[in-house]
Amino acid sequence: MNNPITIKACLQQAQLLLSDISDSSRLDAEVLLAFVMQKNRTWLYTWSDKIPSPDQLQQFNQLVSQRQQGTPIAYLTGEKEFWSLPLQVSPATLIPRGDTEILVEVALELAQTLQQKNPQEHIRILDLGTGTGAIALALASELPTANITAVDKMPQAVELAEKNRAALGFKNVTVLHSDWFSAITLQKFHVIVSNPPYIDEQDPHLKQGDVRFEPLTALVAPNQGLADIQHIAEHAKQHLLPNGFLCVEHGWQQAEAVRGVFEKNGYVGVRSEKDNGGNDRVTLGVVG
């Protein structure tokens, strides 16, 4: 791209460059240019004849080049929206995805039902493997009186989740360094939620798309992707209050196996909920 070049021309050329690697090449170009210009995407169209500065153009060209190599947009901009909340992201954590909002919806409904039955009680929620803090912070935004604990075994993830918590100002969330339940000791909760690693180590999709750049520790689990879910189901019982719920996200073909794990560990009322694509995405059960 040569200078001078207008915003409109920048977007057109970037869209062309990105068309081979992205089904959303126009959106990718808009997000990257808006990030560089420190404006929103609407502004780009309102002022499409403006000319970016040489520094802005250089930064934009570098980001487009990185995107051509497959680097996820969220890692390039350092942010991702989840549940309408702006979250900082980094290569140390998974990028929050829309499918995970189903897990939030399920947990929110359960928490609200429990709150209605016990209006004087503060609902206690545990988010295992919190990553960016997306699930815990989304729940905190809807449940201001709940006490929410978010844990992760990766120090970089704990630091990032705490940054997001502080930036959003949610005082009802506590972020802890914990390998699953290791730092929870005797605490008990009404609802435990988790989006754990659940991809099979041999899954060919690990070499495709955004997941190539995401941390394997947050994606992959042994035993056909079920090992962490099995660990959670087994140990969550000790940390759930009577009639407490466990809810986990899993792969779209794992629902039957996950239901079997729950039932084997004594959970009752086990069922799966579908994502926006109509696939079973979240399984939940009540501690027996």
Binding residues for substrate: 195-198
- Written as one letter, the residue type at 278 is G
Residue of 83, 87, 84 whose CA lies nearest to 95: 87
**Cis, peptide link before residue 4, omega less than 30° from 0:** yes
Dihedral angle at the C-alpha atoms of 135, 140, 145, 146, nearest 10 degrees?
A: 20
Annotated binding site for S-adenosyl-L-methionine: 129-133, 152, 180, 195
The whole-angstrom separation of Cα 194 and Cα 250 is: 9
State the DSSP H helix or E strand holding residue 66, giving kind and residue range, or none if neither: helix 54-68
Annotated binding site: 129-133, 152, 180, 195-198
The answer to whether residues 195 and 251 touch, using CB atoms and an 8 Å cutoff, is no
The whole-angstrom separation of Cα 265 and Cα 276 is: 28
Residue of 181, 183, 136 whose CA lies nearest to 161: 136
Residue 175 CA: distances (Å) to CA of 38, 127, 151, 154: 30, 9, 6, 12
Which DSSP string corresponds to 18-46?
HTTT-TTHHHHHHHHHHHHHTS-HHHHHH
3-state secondary structure of 252: coil
The whole-angstrom separation of Cα 109 and Cα 125 is: 13
